[in-house]
Amino acid sequence: MKQLVDRFGRTGFAALTSLIWLLPMAAWAGSADLSPIDKTATPRIAFTIGVVMLAVWLVLVASLRRFPVTPRQRRFDLAQMSPSEKRWTLACIAFGLGLIAWLNGAATVDWAPLGSAIGAGEVGPILLAVGLAVFVIGMAAGIWFSWHKATDAYRRRTAA
């Protein structure tokens, strides 16, 4: 654990290890609305795993102070980031969350009624489909653009 903290820094390590509770929680959120249909306990199991792993992660994050970190430039160290880098990284995270939300919603929706309504030529469902496509394209473009801007800000910081 000491080597990972030294490699990624405290902030990077906390962000990377947050996946241990984030993924079970995402599975819970994605399956919670399906449970009344198929009558399974899967959402409760995923939620329980997510809460337990959140507690484990909080213990990990609370113990980060005891690990020494060699002073050097790190990409995702909040204390070292310039305001521009923080802003573009936050934008990238926001676009990423928007894309994940879209994918989570898309995975839990029955698309058959929308497809048949589009096939029938109804204007409302066609506009909804176009809006959904514009949203996902916007999120992907936002991720790409903000990541490149954050990378440029990081390069400016390390070059100074």
Summarised one tens digit per residue, pLDDT across range 31-89 is 666 555 556 556 777 778 778 888 888 888 888 888 888 888 878 778 788 999 999 99
Cβ(56)–Cβ(20) below 8 Å: yes
Q: Is the pLDDT of residue 139 over 90?
A: yes
> Which residue, of 77, 111, 131, is where some domain finishes?
77
> Which uninterrupted H or E stretch holds 10?
helix 2-17
> How does DSSP classify residue 34?
T
- Average the pLDDT over each of 28-37, 90-99, 136-145 and give the range with the smallest value: 28-37
In whole angstroms, what is the distance from residue 74 CA to residue 122 CA? Answer: 52
**85 and 73 part of one domain:** no
In three-state secondary structure terms, 44 is: helix
In whole angstroms, what is the distance from residue 128 CA to residue 135 CA? Answer: 10
- Average the pLDDT over each of 42-51, 85-94, 142-151 and give the range with the smallest value: 42-51
> Which residue, of 61, 77, 93, is where some domain finishes?
77
**15 and 60 part of one domain:** yes
**49 and 114 part of one domain:** no
Pick 126 or 111 by higher pLDDT. 126
What pLDDT score does 133 carry? 95
Helices 42-62 and 19-32 sit at what angle, rounded to 10 degrees? Answer: 160
**117 and 155 part of one domain:** yes
> Which residue, of 77, 93, 116, is where some domain finishes?
77
**113 and 44 part of one domain:** no
- Average the pLDDT over each of 11-15, 54-58, 83-87, 92-96 and give the range with the smallest value: 11-15
In whole angstroms, what is the distance from residue 63 CA to residue 21 CA? Answer: 17
In whole angstroms, what is the distance from residue 129 CA to residue 140 CA? Answer: 17
Query: Identity (one letter) of the amino acid at 21?
Result: W
Query: Can you give the residue range of the structural domain that contains 47?
Result: 1-77
10 Å Cβ neighbour count for 148?
12
As a whole number, mean pLDDT of residues 14-28 equals 77
Compute the Cα dihedral for 46, 48, 54, 57 and give only its sign: negative
In whole angstroms, what is the distance from residue 57 CA to residue 46 CA? Answer: 16
**27 and 66 part of one domain:** yes
**143 and 131 part of one domain:** yes
Number of domains in the chain: 2
Helices 19-32 and 2-17 sit at what angle, rounded to 10 degrees? Answer: 20
What pLDDT score does 34 carry? 58
